[in-house]
């Protein structure tokens, strides 16, 4: 199944043997790999090189790079993201909660500001972001458009309680996006 996939989304809550094998199989078959390094732990360089998109949050990027823990901004997230680029991650998308998300790649940088919502429960925001990012990339959307869709999905998810119950459907994300006039599409 992995070899026939267009895109593989992984996180570290499954057996590490699977997390190590899956991206190798995916890359050999030409699939893109999104790795959410959660729960955070040190990762070998060879593993980072398999990630087309590495999507750490603020805590995870601090653990992966030795950066100062705590809230990050667009400016303070750039250096640790570039460190992960140099270690082999093709693109790093730092999820910074209410601060937004920052993409840092070898030839580009893009920032998606967080959408203003009344947050009820942030438990599944990162999962919503990654799932929406994967869906949009698998549909051949640009990473910029995929990140905007992911930002909307994450914002929508925090408006509800619970992990699974807060994950929005595509229709809910699209309706949320239409109703939110503060979405900033940057070039």
**So where are the chain's domains?**
1-108, 115-182
- Averaged pLDDT, groups of 10, the chain, 187 residues long: 93 87 91 93 83 95 90 93 95 96 95 93 94 97 97 95 92 88 46
Structure tokens at 181: 């006039």
Helices 143-157 and 125-138: angle between axes, nearest 10 degrees: 150
| Catalytic option among 121, 127, 140, 145 | 127
* Token pair for 135: 């869906």
What confidence score (pLDDT) does residue 75 get?
A: 93
Q: Is 14 exposed, middle or buried (0-12, 13-18, 19+ CB in 10 A)?
A: exposed
Please provide the size of the chain in residues: 187
Look at residue 45 in the predicted model and tell me its pLDDT: 81
Instruction: Give the end-to-end CA distance of the chain in Å, rounded to a whole number.
Output: 36
Between the CA of residue 142 and those of 40, 95, 136, 139, what are the distances in Å? Answer: 27, 18, 8, 9
pTM: 0.91
| Burial group, residue 117, by CB count within 10 angstroms (0-12, 13-18, 19+) | middle
Residue 153, classified by CB atoms within 10 Å of its CB into exposed (0-12), middle (13-18) or buried (19+), is buried
79 is catalytic: no
> CATH topology for 1-108?
3.40.1190
Give pLDDT, residue 181: 54
The single-letter DSSP state of residue 77 is H
């Amino acid at each position: 199944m992995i070899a026939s996939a267009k895109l593989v989304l992984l996180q570290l809550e499954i057996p590490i043997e699977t997390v190590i094998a899956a991206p190798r199989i995916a890359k050999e078959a030409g699939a893109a790999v999104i790795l959410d390094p959660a729960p955070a732990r040190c990762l070998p360089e060879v593993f980072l090189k398999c990630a087309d998109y590495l999507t750490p949050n603020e805590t995870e990027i601090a653990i992966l790079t030795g950066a100062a823990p705590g809230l990050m901004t667009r400016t303070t997230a750039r250096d640790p993201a570039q460190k992960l680029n140099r270690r082999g991650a093709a693109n790093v998308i730092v999820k910074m909660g209410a601060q937004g998300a920052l993409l840092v790649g070898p030839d580009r940088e893009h920032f998606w500001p967080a959408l203003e919502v009344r947050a009820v429960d942030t438990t599944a925001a990162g999962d919503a972001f990654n799932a929406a990012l994967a869906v949009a990339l698998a549909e051949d959307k640009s990473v910029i458009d995929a990140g905007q869709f992911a930002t909307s999905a994450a914002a929508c998810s925090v408006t509800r309680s619970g992990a699974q119950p807060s994950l929005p459907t595509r229709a809910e994300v699209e309706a949320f996006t239409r109703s939110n006039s503060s979405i900033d599409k940057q070039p």
